[in-house]
């Protein structure tokens, strides 16, 4: 198993890409800390994994609240004995054209998608430094690399994640910690399920592979970057987008 005896934190793990990652990591032998703001669904997801015989525990957390993050990181260390992997997957959207985007919606997305990544990474860093090894995977987006209409706040945070990823890769590489990012394209999740079918078809026509991605597609990329197979991969942004941005 590719993650045997590893302990992983996955934020935003209650649904979508996060839960797909939790399932994949558990199957590959990891003890999985499912961290999420949704207490009911998160606890249910952890129960599902435990019933299948996997090591999993839910941790209620608000990634925008540093005290919450520090408590979560300490609790994971106490529960599993170590923290080998951090998947900064939690994120929100509050889309709107620049002329209509409120300051509150701009700030709330920054608080979760950018500052939350900072909080989580800084909170687990001491544990990884003590071990002399760790894998940190951040979630960017093609919107953060190329921009996207109506996503000033979201694109800004995801571009910021790329900058932080490359900075941390340079700072932490010699300390045994690999830092990389994933840039998903259009992924079929609960959010995209609400998009009208006509729009979904237009999106599919833009993608050379002819389909939207699935949460498993992103989970598999997380899995590679979290495993020992990626020990010489550092500071990269892996696009998992079906070729839409070639």
76 assigned to some structural domain: yes
Q: Is residue 165 part of a domain?
A: yes
The sign of the torsion formed by the CA atoms of 214, 16, 147, 137 equals negative
- Helices in 93-190 by DSSP H: which ranges? 103-110, 116-131, 142-146, 152-172
pLDDT tens per residue, range 131-161:
999 999 999 999 999 999 999 999 999 999 9
Closest to 64 (Cα-Cα) out of 28, 21, 12: 12
Question: 149: exposed, middle or buried (C-beta count within 10 Å: 0-12, 13-18, 19+)?
Answer: exposed
**Token digits for 2?**
């590719």
Q: Is residue 160 part of a domain?
A: yes
Is residue 151 domain-resident? yes
Query: Catalytic pick from 54, 127, 154, 222?
Result: 154
Residue-wise pLDDT for 19-43, tens only, equals 999 999 999 999 999 999 999 999 9
CATH number at residue 196: 3.40.50.720
Give pLDDT tens digits for 197-236.
887 888 899 999 999 999 999 999 999 999 999 999 999 9
Domain total in the chain: 1
Query: Taking the CB of residue 51, how many other CB atoms lie within 10 A of it?
Result: 9
DSSP, collapsed to helix, strand or coil, labels residue 88 as strand
* CB burial of residue 72 (10 Å; 0-12, 13-18, 19+): buried
Q: For residue 178, give the nearest of 188, 163, 166, 194 by alpha carbon.
A: 166
Look at residue 143 and tell me if it is in a domain.
yes
Domain boundaries, position 233: 7-239
- Residue 35: other Cβ atoms inside 10 A: 32
- Where b means 16+ CB within 10 Å and e means fewer, 96-116 reads beeeebeeebbeebbbbbbbb
**Is 2 among the domain residues?**
no
In a domain, 246, yes or no: no
Is it the case that residue 194 has pLDDT exceeding 90? no
Q: Per the domain annotation, does 105 fall within a domain?
A: yes
Q: Is 154 a catalytic residue?
A: yes
Both structure tokens of 198: 């006509």
């Amino acid at each position: 198993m590719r993650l045997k005896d590893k302990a992983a934190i996955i934020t935003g793990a209650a649904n979508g890409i996060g839960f797909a990652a939790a399932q994949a990591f558990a199957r590959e032998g990891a003890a999985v800390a499912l961290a999420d703001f949704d207490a009911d669904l998160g606890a249910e997801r952890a129960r599902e994994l435990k019933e299948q015989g996997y090591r999993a525990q839910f941790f209620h957390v608000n990634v925008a609240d540093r005290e919450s993050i520090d408590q979560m990181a300490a609790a994971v260390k106490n529960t599993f004995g170590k923290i080998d992997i951090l998947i900064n997957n939690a994120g929100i959207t509050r889309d709107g054209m620049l002329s209509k985007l409120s300051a509150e919606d701009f700030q709330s997305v920054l608080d979760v998608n950018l500052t939350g990544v900072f909080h989580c990474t800084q909170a687990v860093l001491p544990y990884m430094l003590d071990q002399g090894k760790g894998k940190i995977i951040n979630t960017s987006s093609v919107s953060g690399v190329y921009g996207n209409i109506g996503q000033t706040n979201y694109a800004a945070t995801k571009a910021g994640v790329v900058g932080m990823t490359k900075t941390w890769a340079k700072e932490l590489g010699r300390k045994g910690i690999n830092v990389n990012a994933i840039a998903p394209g259009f992924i079929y999740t609960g959010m995209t399920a609400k998009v009208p079918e006509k729009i979904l078809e237009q999106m599919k026509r833009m993608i050379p592979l002819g389909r939207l991605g699935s949460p498993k597609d992103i989970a598999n990329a997380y899995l590679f970057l979290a495993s020992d197979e990626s020990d010489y991969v550092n500071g990269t942004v892996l696009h998992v987008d079906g070729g839409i941005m070639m």
